[in-house]
Amino acid sequence: MIHKYTWEQNTRKLKSIIDYNTVKQKSKFQIHDVRVQRGINCGSDHYVVRDKVYLPIRGRTSNTDKHDVNYEKFTYLKYTLDSFQHESTQYLYKRRLDEKLTAKEEFGLSEIYGNIIQNLHETAKEVLGEKHKRQSRKMWWTEEIEGLVAKKKNYIRNR
């Protein structure tokens, strides 16, 4: 229940759901999970409302059958930010980013924006390094089992 209330007044023990995220009913966005983030302090007695949004893959037009529509998650690159607390790392990051941004000059607005984003990611990857996900593959999970699972999923899709 604590992830449902968006406003709370502790002195009078009042709780309410008064903050919402709205989406058009016929939108291609698919809202899969909505939660209230209680740990984030935004200077108010309201809590932050967070939702997970999925978009259909481009080129798909049918929205009638769930098996027919494929969804992709927004993916974000994650970097190891622990080393960024050191002044030497901050200095190195600023210097390399400055060198990259002043080296290239593009003409169109979209090229400038793309250049800035690309340089930010390249510099962060060079200086900070990417955060790697732990892969916990079970000992009993073999390629044979993986093939059988793929065969079963394919059979269910084609029914």
Cα→Cα distances 54→63, 85, 149, Å:
13, 33, 25
Q: What is the pTM of this model?
A: 0.36
The token pair at 117 is 């984003």
Burial class of 35 by CB neighbour count within 10 A (0 to 12, 13 to 18, 19+): middle
Quick check: 51 and 34 in contact, CB under 8 A? Answer: yes
Q: Which one-letter amino acid corresponds to residue 92?
A: L
For the segment 70-129, what is each residue's pLDDT rounded down to a tens digit?
544 545 677 777 787 888 888 998 898 888 877 666 666 677 777 888 888 888 888 888
pLDDT of residue 129: 82
Q: Phi-psi bin for 59: left (phi > 0), alpha (psi -120 to 50), beta? A: left
The residues with which 34 forms a beta bridge, in sequence order, are 51
Using only C-alpha atoms, the chain has a radius of gyration, in whole angstroms, of 23
Residue among 82, 123, 81 at smallest CA distance from 101: 123
pLDDT of residue 101: 79
For the segment 15-60, what is each residue's pLDDT rounded down to a tens digit?
888 888 887 777 777 888 888 888 777 778 888 888 888 877 765 5
pLDDT of residue 80: 77
